Chain A
């Protein structure tokens, strides 16, 4: 054995350094916290005055001071890092990056004799420091005094592995990398096959539209989950003067999942002519939000305008400090809102967050949800939080959404984003300038385009009711072709994903080719046209006396008429409010044109009777008659949806592949374990 290695000497190599205090157990391995250099002649601080000892205290029995690896005493917190931290840090790293003390120990061990190595004594000092000599010499030895847990045993093995001598260093070239050829060993074959299956099945939907199993998400949110619908309706009730705080709390790693919903929220808010104030406690998310807006601007470019920072949207300064930054946002919102992320003045003057119509949070982690719920929402009281999260954070985020009344809804993952987009397309589709027809044309495969039933064309022709730019002004890349027709907007705006009420043609009137059967509003009051034959259904449009609508059918008892609206939707109106007449087409068109002249003055799409307060003392949010006369809001809803169906298909196929790999792999290993156990003791042991 070579010369004895003294840890205490190594810890204090300077000759002039004072002798360190004795250290026990694994703490002897730990680097000492570097102290400040002691200046020459620096006066030493006087010692702490000692309290007088209590009489009889010294007679109390002393507890044994165990020194168990991985379990330091309470004051070990003063010695950072802890032993488990140190060992964890050294795992799977090149030897030259080891802590100096561990590397030195390894080198010292490498110089030991082969006999010592063979006898397990290559790690001299280790046994002594891992187990206190006091414990080692107690009756019963180490086992009776301290038993290591499995994790601690693994750490000991790792420590032995790290400092294990020269033999290993020579074999691995001084690095703890995989030995050559391990990648292609037989044990790697199942992993290679599994990886190939996963990658192949995820890729298939992007290669061919034939691989698109499973149902697409519905165009309406599930009634059992009112949260997403509430989120949509709250944003749909925004008005032109509203400001919405939009929090981007996700980084690039979650961009693939959450970009879709962030994009939709932004488009929806802008389409309502409200102004989003983007904020984040993640500096990268602030920059990423700007990039999403740039992508939206490419959609808006057809209108000759673009969303302007400082006019149509605002990006506020980064909030440092995590939860502390969010607290500052809630306490000092006026200050936060004054400065943009580029340090410019925004010109925004707010007193508090309560002036926000809503707070929309897009969170990658449940912790972000918790921070916002605790630091922001609980401080603003009346303003509601709308949230979106990824699948991974959903279980914890859903708990907050269910428990806090301030959080009124939660949208989860890409499938909800698809439904949100469908709903948006459905409700704004007739307003989109030319996009609707473009989407229809592209939705039908060229070979089958001529074979479409005539009612499709008829419905498309009556879709645009407002004065909008012609379709030719639309850029073709906005809605690119899709490999399948299933995903794109259908030719007719779907009132609901649920089965429509069965309509029967009323027998009262029969139409001739020149005439048309209509219902004419006779009520002196403003009447409501609803999505279905019930007063519980959503209101699609308002109508006044004299308005005419084409009659399509009626419900079973004839109390409701199904009518065609000028915007392409189909609605229901109560029988007692109207009269059924037969008029000429010319008269009908004249009535339609006079009625449509009123439409631009009112925001008449999807007015839900919504009773969730958006803000204290702000009843104006119940008003939904928002004029839509500009160009940007219509264009901002045009999206490239060509990748939606392949992505959903990839999710389905990827999940199937994961199920396959997990099931097959575990069956294989379970059978192997069963065979081994039968060979060992002849039976299965649970």
Chain B
């Protein structure tokens, strides 16, 4: 068994152990009503619990590694003359200095990051509106027309204007029936996709852990 096969084998064993631990550990009733059933369930739950906590710890450590990697990458880019990497490194150093000297003051977050990200979110509104205005440019057929009509109905229905009460009724129906059905379908798809992804990982078809 080569290294790849060994990794797949370890992943399979850990995955199956976690699943069994979660399934059996949460259901002491499976072991009858005897005095030892709770203790048995607790013991069975332990491996899964430990593994999941290990994963959380690993992910937390990976954040630190990710930050270090980011710094190394930008130091390398700076060596190649990338000026934006210098800005990034300077921002990192200043934020670290500010947080340490001001005992965790997070005013920089409110003063810089929140306005910037909020502005980007606001740009999304402009982009969507302009994109919506060009639907018929890209697809001038009955489906494009239907799409635009539905968009306009939902937008008009969201307006707090009494004159648009009939449109609001249509909008509410759209949100309650087709949109809700679509949302449920998406959730079903996510659930099925999660199951398939889990099975593929267990069987070694997906080996993202190889990096």
Contact = CB atoms under 8 A, between A and B. Distances in A.
Interface of A: 33, 45, 48, 74, 77-78, 80, 190-191, 194-195, 198-199, 213-217, 251-256, 283-284, 287-288, 290-291, 319-322, 324-325, 327-328, 331-332, 342, 366, 370, 395-396, 398-399, 415, 648, 652, 654-659, 661-667, 669-670, 672-674, 677, 685-686
B contact residues, range: 35 or more
Contacts of A216: 160
Contact of B179 (A214, A395, A666, A669): A395
A664 B141 contact: no
Interface string B120-142: 11100110111011111100111
Contacts of B110: 288, 291
Contacts of A656: 159
The CB with the most chain B CB atoms within 10 A, among A194, A253, A325, A672, is that of A253
Contact of A287 (B106, B137, B161): B106
Interface of B: 1-2, 4-5, 49, 52-53, 55-57, 59-60, 63, 104, 106-107, 109-110, 113-114, 116-118, 120-122, 125-126, 128-130, 132-137, 140-142, 144-145, 148, 151-152, 155-156, 158-162, 175, 179-180, 182-184, 186-187, 190, 205-208, 210-211
Contacts of B159: 214, 652, 655-656
B2 A45 contact: yes
B48 to A, nearest CB: 10
Given A291-B110, A332-B53, A662 B151 contact: yes
A670 B113 contact: no
A686 B175 contact: no
B210 A658 contact: no
A398 B175 CA distance: 10
Contact of B2 (A48, A255, A256): A48
A291 B107 contact: yes
B113 A252 contact: yes
Nearest to B156: A659
B117 A253 contact: yes
A395 B140 contact: no
Contact of B104 (A342, A665, A685): A342
Given A198-B129, A321-B55, A669-B137, A652 B160 contact: yes
B42 to A, nearest CB: 12
Nearest to B60: A320
Given A80-B208, A662-B148, A669-B140, 10 more contacts: A77-B206, A198-B125, A217-B160, A252-B118, A288-B109, A395-B182, A399-B183, A658-B132, A666-B136, A667-B136
Nearest to B57: A320
Nearest to A367: B190
A2 to B, nearest CB: 28
Contacts of A255: 114, 117-118
30 contacts: A48-B5, A195-B130, A198-B125, A214-B159, A215-B162, A252-B113, A253-B117, A256-B118, A291-B107, A291-B109, A291-B110, A320-B59, A322-B59, A324-B55, A324-B56, A328-B53, A342-B104, A396-B187, A652-B159, A658-B129, A661-B129, A662-B148, A662-B155, A664-B133, A666-B134, A666-B136, A669-B140, A670-B136, A670-B140, A673-B136
Contacts of A199: 126
Contacts of A74: 205
Contacts of A77: 205-207
A80 to B, nearest CB: 8
Contact of A290 (B2, B106, B116, B205): B106
Contacts of A664: 133
A213 B121 contact: no
Nearest to B56: A321
B113 A214 contact: no
Given A48-B1, A662-B133, A320 B107 contact: no
A366 B162 CA distance: 31
B187 A214 contact: no
B149 to A, nearest CB: 9
B113 to A, nearest CB: 5
A661 B130 contact: yes
Contacts of A251: 117
A214 B160 contact: yes
A123 B31 CA distance: 67
Contacts of A253: 117-118, 120-121
A674 B136 CA distance: 10
Contacts of A284: 109, 113
Given A395-B180, A661-B133, A252 B109 contact: yes
A665 to B, nearest CB: 3
A75 to B, nearest CB: 9
